[in-house]
A and B are shown apart, each in its own frame.
Chain A
Amino acid sequence: MRRVPQYAALVAYIVFLAFPLVWLLSTALKTPREMAMADPTWIPRDPTLANFADAFGEQDLVGAALRSLVVALFSSVLTVLVSLPAAYAMARYRGLLNKIAIGWVLVSQVFPFILIIIPLFMIMRDLALVNTLPGLVLVHVTFTLPFALWMLQGYVRAVPRELEEAAAVDGATRLRSIASVVAPLLAPGVVATLLFSFISSWNEFMFALVILQNPDVMTLPLTLVRFTGPEGVARLGPLAAASLMATIPSLIFFAIIQRRLKSGLMAGAVKG
């Protein structure tokens, strides 16, 4: 009985977290008439799949989702691969250069992207990367990198330097101590950075808007926005149906990676 309040709080929290998804599902199944009712209903009175038919019939949602998935996976993996060694160096080596590098990472975050988007677009055009998914991956990596670097160097700092020193006393080389001692402890941080990079890329709209002009290469955010009109007016039904579908790959990715996140935490605990 003592646990009842705990369970109640847990259920309330889950309901709170699930609310947007449930509302999305409910909206996706409603008729336009029911959607416009002044007293909204939780469970559609006259559920319909017409919104899904419209959304999938009008737009290549599956193709767009697959392209988004490819871009997000490549972007997140590349971001982590590039930022990991740099983050280690930033965290472990202290000096003027290091301070400048950290400062630059922070400064790079304050530029409004509209200032750089046109020169960037021209560079992409000259490299023949406009209208290509590799071009978009490159841009996403570039713009996720500073924050990923910042995140990861924090995780590296959290790994006690003494562990590496102890490994060195035992005769391990620096590379060996990084591989055997630091890397397992960094796993949760790497997974968290991977998640952050994946979500950033999956949801990214503006760069995709200017770089991808061919309808055959457009990603999911560009496809979803087609259900909106001027001044915030939207076709809510198809938009909800398409958005619901858009959350599924993310949810699957989270479900898979969450186990890694947990196992990484466990590994860190044992090593620590």
Chain B
Amino acid sequence: MRIRSALAAAAVLTLAAACSGGGGGESSAAPNEPVKINFLSLAWQKESLAANKQLVDEWNKANPKIQVTYVQGSWDNVNDQLVTQFAGGTAPDVIHNDSPALAGFSSDGYLLDLKDKLPAELKSDIPQAAWDTVTFDDGKGRQGVYGVPFLQESQVIIANKKLLDASGVRVPTSDNPWTWDEFSAAAKKMTKDGNFGVAWPMKSPVNKTLNLALNFGGTFFQTADGKTTVKVGPEEREVLQRIHDQLYKDKSADPAALGQGTADPLPAFYKGKFALLPAGVYLRQQVAEQAPDGFEWVTLPAPKGTSAQQGAVSQTLSIAQESKHPDEAMKFIAFFLNGQNQAKLAKGDWLLPTSQTAAADPAMTTKENGWDVATASAKNLVVAPFLKVNGFDEWKSKVATPVLQEYFGNKITIDQAASKLVEDGNKVLERYQR
């Protein structure tokens, strides 16, 4: 789907001129004229869906003159949908997406720069690091803010408590996480009786490995003289090599999980086939819901390298450039993403709120279901340079995903993987920099 998006985006460029005009940040509504706003939401978990709908209902009751229509989309297809709707000038007013997707849309001029529209309270409640994830070039060299970041995902380790305790290894805390060496040693220690210490589901390996690569300063892209190229040096190789070592040198990682999606190893995890599962914080929801009676699990912080930094991806709400009611859309966003409401949304999606008010909510810091560890991990999130690269999406789907799958499948060496990532990747990037 992402490949299609990239192709479609190229087609859209040629058609954009014919479809420009409209919105541009000025409300077309006369004073007191009732307006209707479409809100494309990507909520899909039961609690998140309920929270989204409840907040829209609350808004509609309190604001009879600004009525919001809730339109549900899906993560897998949203960019294909938006490419067409932007080109056709029929995009929803308020758009839920994630920050990497905003780079292309903002440089193509489809999203409204919110810089001057953000209410002070909302702006100050969200830290600058999160705003950085939605600050992009508008395609003409100007930096703008193209979304309000509200939920973030960090990597944690979900652990089988019984196996963890039995191994006798030090239990890491948010203040004192494992180093990668400790993590490898712990995984080796927990590998016995046909069971493994850790499982790495690598069906979609790019986000996970690239975000963790920042532990060692791995940025994967470098910009010089205005030109961005792919870089796979010692910093970028570190996490890749360590995961590979767990699989083939230490043999402490379950090879059965390698081709699986994020949630696929859970049944084997509940059965004790492996002890540690590195995953996004949202996976806790499935563990809490599905784990068999008596199964004890804990959330551990991700390991640290030279730092504990991880790449941050935010879920965002943006306003379409074509929107006829941008001011009203901004008012709705400000309500929808206030601290109290962000806490509800974060709980519903089992993700981390960007709002400092929301993060201080007692529900976000409770030990239950590892919320304390998850919320503490937010401090390590930084803007990953690769998420700002125009063409990253295509590099990820066409180059990085197959190359990393081959590497983790032990079909190519790390040198071959690095060479492919760089050479094939630069060819992709070149097209975006002409």
Contact = CB atoms under 8 A, between A and B. Distances in A.
Contacts of A54: 46
A215 B7 contact: no
Interface stretch (B76-84, B106-114, B322-330): B76-84
A178 B17 CA distance: 51
A229 B45 contact: yes
Interface string A224-236: 0111111111010
Given A37-B267, A117-B8, A231-B261, A213 B72 contact: no
Interface string B40-61: 0000111001000000000000
A220 interface: no
Interface residues of A, number: 36
Interface string B283-303: 000100111110000000000
Contact of A209 (B45, B77, B89, B273): B77
Nearest to A210: B84
Contacts of B262: 231-233
Contacts of B8: 114, 117-118
A177 B411 CA distance: 65
A94 interface: no
Nearest to A130: B90
B73 to A, nearest CB: 8
Chain B interface size, as a band, is: 35 or more
B81 A209 contact: yes
A246 B75 CA distance: 21
B76 A225 contact: yes
Given A36-B267, A117-B8, A231-B204, A122 B292 contact: no
A210 B12 contact: no
A114 B178 CA distance: 47
Contact of B88 (A33, A130, A225, A228): A130
B76 A114 contact: no
A121 interface: yes
A36 B89 contact: no
B76 A215 contact: no
B307 interface: no
A210 B270 contact: no
Nearest to B15: A118
B69 interface: yes
A225 B77 contact: yes
B22 to A, nearest CB: 13
Contacts of B11: 114-115, 118
Contacts of B123: none
Contact of A227 (B44, B92, B270, B290): B44
A112 B10 CA distance: 14
Nearest to A54: B46
Contacts of A229: 44-45, 75
B12 A118 contact: yes
Nearest to A215: B71
A165 interface: no
B292 A228 contact: no
B145 interface: no
B380 interface: no
A125 B88 contact: yes
Given A33-B290, A36-B290, 8 more contacts: A36-B270, A38-B270, A209-B77, A209-B80, A210-B80, A214-B69, A228-B76, A229-B44
9 contacts: A33-B291, A115-B7, A117-B84, A121-B88, A125-B89, A213-B90, A231-B203, A232-B203, A233-B261
